[in-house]
C-alpha cells in the first residue's frame, strides 16, 4: 500500500535525552506551512520512531492532521521522506526532545486543534538509575494538557508493567484529566512495537484520559 522502499537506515538504538546535544531549544513548528490545511483536527504522537503508525493513520484519515515528534533525528528525516514519496500533506514529523522541549515546539499551535495524543511504548529506560531519562514527566503532561482541546483525549500504552504504573500515575495526578474506560486500543493501526509485543502474546497495559477542565 505504501512506498517505504528506502533502505532501513542505521541509527542508535537509544539516545540519552539528558545529553547536552539533546538539550537544544527547537524552533517553534510552523503549523501554517507544514500542513495543507492547518485548521483540521490534529493528532500528536510522542516518540513516533520510524513513523509507520502515523503514516497509516494519515492515509486512513485525510480529514485529520498528524504530527509525530521524535528524538532520533535520522528517523525523523527518513519518515518525512517517506511521507513525501506518498504525497501526504496532512502528516509531519519533527525532531524534538519531548521531555524538555515539547512546549517550545508547540508554541505556535493554533488553539483548539489538538484533539488526540498518543504515547506508545515510550521508554527503553527500565533501570532505576536511568529513571531520569524517562519521557513522561510532570512537565510533559502539563504541556500536553495545556495544548489539548477541551474533551480531547490522550491514549497511553506500554508492555512494561512498572513503567505503565508510573506513567498512568503521572497522568492521573493532573486534575484537568479524567480516566476513560477502554477495553482495547481504540485506534485502527498498531504501532511497530505493539505488533511485536502482541506477536509474542505478551500483555499490553493501556489507559485513556480525557481533558475535562
Ligand atoms: C520503544 S520506541 C516505540 C516507538 C513507537 N511509538 C512504537 O510504539 O512502535 C520509543 C520511541 O520514543 C522515542 N523517545 C524516547 N524519548 C524521547 C524523547 N524525550 N523525546 C522524543 N522521543 C523520544 C525513542 O527514540 C523511540 O523512537
Q: Which helix (H) or strand (E) holds 68?
A: strand 65-70
pLDDT at 124: 80
pLDDT at 189: 98
CB of 80 closer than 8 Å to CB of 2 = no
Quote the ligand 1 centre to 86 CA distance (angstroms): 23
pLDDT at 24: 87
pLDDT at 123: 84
Q: Is 51 in the pocket of ligand 1 (CB under 6 A)?
A: no
Extract the residue ranges of the chain whose pLDDT is less than 50: none
Best of 49, 93, 199 for a ligand 1 pocket test (most atoms within 8 Å of beta carbon): 49
pLDDT at 188: 98
CB of 15 closer than 8 Å to CB of 97 = no
Quote the ligand 1 centre to 70 CA distance (angstroms): 6
CB of 146 closer than 8 Å to CB of 173 = no
3-state secondary structure 143-206: HHHHHCCCCCEEEEEECCHHHHHHHHHHHHCCCCEEEECCCCCCCCCCCHHHHHHHHCCCCCEE
pLDDT at 11: 72
Q: Is 68 in the pocket of ligand 1 (CB under 6 A)?
A: no
pLDDT at 3: 62
Q: Is 50 in the pocket of ligand 1 (CB under 6 A)?
A: no
* Buried/exposed code over 162-192 (b: 16+ C-beta within 10 A; e: otherwise): ebbeebbebbeebeebeeeeeeebebebbbe
d(CA 79, CA 6): 10
CB of 135 closer than 8 Å to CB of 119 = yes
**Active site members:** 123
Closest to 53 measured CA to CA, from 147, 146, 118: 118
pLDDT at 7: 53
Give residue-wise pLDDT tens across range 168-187. Answer: 999 999 999 999 999 999 99
Q: Could you identify the atom of ligand 1 that is nearest to the CA of residue 102? A: 20
* pTM (predicted TM-score): 0.95
Tally helices (H) and strands (E) across the chain: 7, 7
pLDDT at 181: 95
Quote the ligand 1 centre to 122 CA distance (angstroms): 5
Best of 71, 103, 205 for a ligand 1 pocket test (most atoms within 8 Å of beta carbon): 71
Closest to 48 measured CA to CA, from 28, 77, 23, 25: 77
Q: Is 191 in the pocket of ligand 1 (CB under 6 A)?
A: yes
Give residue-wise pLDDT tens across range 9-43. Answer: 667 778 999 999 999 899 999 999 999 999 999 99
Closest to 210 measured CA to CA, from 183, 159, 174: 174
Amino acid at each position: 500500500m505504501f512506498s517505504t522502499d528506502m533502505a532501513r537506515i542505521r541509527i542508535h538504538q537509544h539516545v540519552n535525552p539528558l545529553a547536552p546535544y539533546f538539550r537544544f531549544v527547537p524552533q517553534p513548528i510552523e503549523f501554517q506551512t507544514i500542513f495543507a490545511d492547518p485548521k483540521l483536527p490534529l493528532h500528536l504522537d510522542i516518540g513516533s520512531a520510524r513513523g509507520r503508525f502515523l503514516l497509516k493513520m494519515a492515509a486512513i484519515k485525510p480529514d485529520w492532521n498528524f504530527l509525530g515528534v521524535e528524538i532520533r533525528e535520522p528517523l525523523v528525516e527518513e519518515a518525512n521522506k517517506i511521507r513525501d514519496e506518498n504525497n501526504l500533506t496532512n502528516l509531519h514529523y519533527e525532531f524534538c526532545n519531548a521531555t524538555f522541549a515539547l512546549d517550545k515546539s508547540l508554541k505556535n499551535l493554533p488553539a483548539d486543534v489538538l484533539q488526540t495524543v498518543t504515547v506508545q511504548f515510550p521508554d527503553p529506560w527500565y533501570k532505576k538509575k536511568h529513571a531520569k531519562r524517562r519521557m513522561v514527566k510532570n512537565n510533559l503532561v502539563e504541556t500536553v494538557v495545556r495544548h489539548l482541546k477541551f474533551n480531547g483525549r490522550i491514549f497511553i500504552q506500554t508492555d512494561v508493567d512498572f513503567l505503565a504504573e508510573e506513567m498512568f500515575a503521572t497522568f492521573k495526578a493532573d486534575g484537568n484529566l479524567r480516566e476513560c474506560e477502554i477495553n482495547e486500543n481504540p485506534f485502527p493501526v498498531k504501532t511497530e512495537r505493539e505488533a511485536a509485543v502482541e506477536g509474542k502474546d505478551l500483555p499490553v497495559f493501556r489507559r485513556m484520559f480525557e481533558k475535562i477542565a
